[in-house]
Amino acid sequence: MAAPARKSVEFFYDVLSPYTWLAFEVMCRYQQKWNIDLKLRPFFLSGIMQGADNRPPGMVPAKATYMGQDLKRLTDMYQVPFNMPSNPAEVMFIKGSINAGRFLTAVDMNCDQYLEELTRQLFLRIYYRDEDITEPASLMAAAAKAGIPEDLTKQLLSTLKDQAVKDRLRQTTQAALDHGAFGSPTIVAHIDGKAQMFFGSDRLELMAHMLGEKWYGPLPELAKAKM
Ligand SMILES: N[C@@H](CCC(=O)N[C@@H](CS)C(=O)NCC(=O)O)C(=O)O
């Protein structure tokens, strides 16, 4: 009997979103375990908020307070080394992620073998070491940790204002909006010819159910070792 066809799962994300880091790490843990092709698709969360007429939950003071506690508990459970930056409002609402989004897009367009590790390194910068992700030197440092050769990084950084890169980031953002996105992470699983959209790091169990895959929790390796 032929093996069942692999299902494709698109992971739309912006590294400015701390919940997205959780979902990203869990999806990376599961990508070899499940019969899926995981496609990382960097988008621009501000564009999503605008396009969906939404606003970041962190702008509502009670939600911001709750999110701080929620993320602390969740990141412990998910084993993701999260630290809230010293000035989260500056990081999220002033500095933003346009350069990081364009850099991830350029990497996706030219050398996507580095995309997963570069994404992780950018998350580590903002949400572990409280470091900048907007300046070219910051992107250089993340790229070096992700193993991208220095000359290639310089060349990619020189394309951040190119129309092709801007258009691609805009198109990816629009593609997510077309699937009904209103925040990050937005995950689109293509199941039996139908695109199913899931929002949030807390919908992965549901997505596994829809995919017909087994869910072992956020730490599948540990769960396996215990069995
Ligand atoms: N419940 C979701 C929350 C994810 C979330 O709040 N994401 C933010 C960015 S950090 C967002 O885009 N929120 C849009 C909204 O809540 O409408 C989870 O656990 O992952």
Output the residue whose Cα is nearest ligand 1's atom 11. 183
Q: How far is the CA of 109 from the centre of ligand 1 (A)?
A: 27
Does residue 58 fall inside a structural domain? yes
> Could you list the residue range(s) of the whole structural domain that residue 183 is in?
7-226
Q: How far is the CA of 110 from the centre of ligand 1 (A)?
A: 30
pLDDT in tens, 100-110: 999 999 999 99
Does residue 2 fall inside a structural domain? no
Q: How far is the CA of 19 from the centre of ligand 1 (A)?
A: 6
Catalytic site includes residue 158: no
pLDDT in tens, 55-73: 999 899 999 999 999 999 9
Does residue 188 fall inside a structural domain? yes
Does residue 186 fall inside a structural domain? yes
For the Cβ of 90 lying below 6 angstroms from any atom of ligand 1, the answer is no
For the Cβ of 202 lying below 6 angstroms from any atom of ligand 1, the answer is yes
Q: Supply the DSSP symbol for 179.
A: T
Q: Is the pLDDT of residue 225 over 90?
A: no
Q: Show the DSSP H helices in the chain as ranges.
A: 18-30, 45-51, 61-78, 88-89, 98-110, 115-127, 136-145, 150-157, 163-178, 204-211, 220-226
Q: Give how many domains the chain has, as a whole number.
A: 1
Contact 9, 127 (CB under 8 A): no
pLDDT in tens, 83-121: 999 999 999 999 999 999 999 999 999 999 999 999 999
Catalytic residue, chosen from 8, 17, 86, 97, is: 17
For the Cβ of 119 lying below 6 angstroms from any atom of ligand 1, the answer is no
Does residue 1 fall inside a structural domain? no
Residue 140 CB: number of other CB atoms within 10 A? 16
Contact 44, 186 (CB under 8 A): no
Does residue 43 fall inside a structural domain? yes
Residue type, 180: G
Q: Which two tokens stand for residue 96?
A: 């933003």
Does residue 137 fall inside a structural domain? yes
Find the CATH number of the domain harbouring 156: 3.40.30.10
Does residue 83 fall inside a structural domain? yes
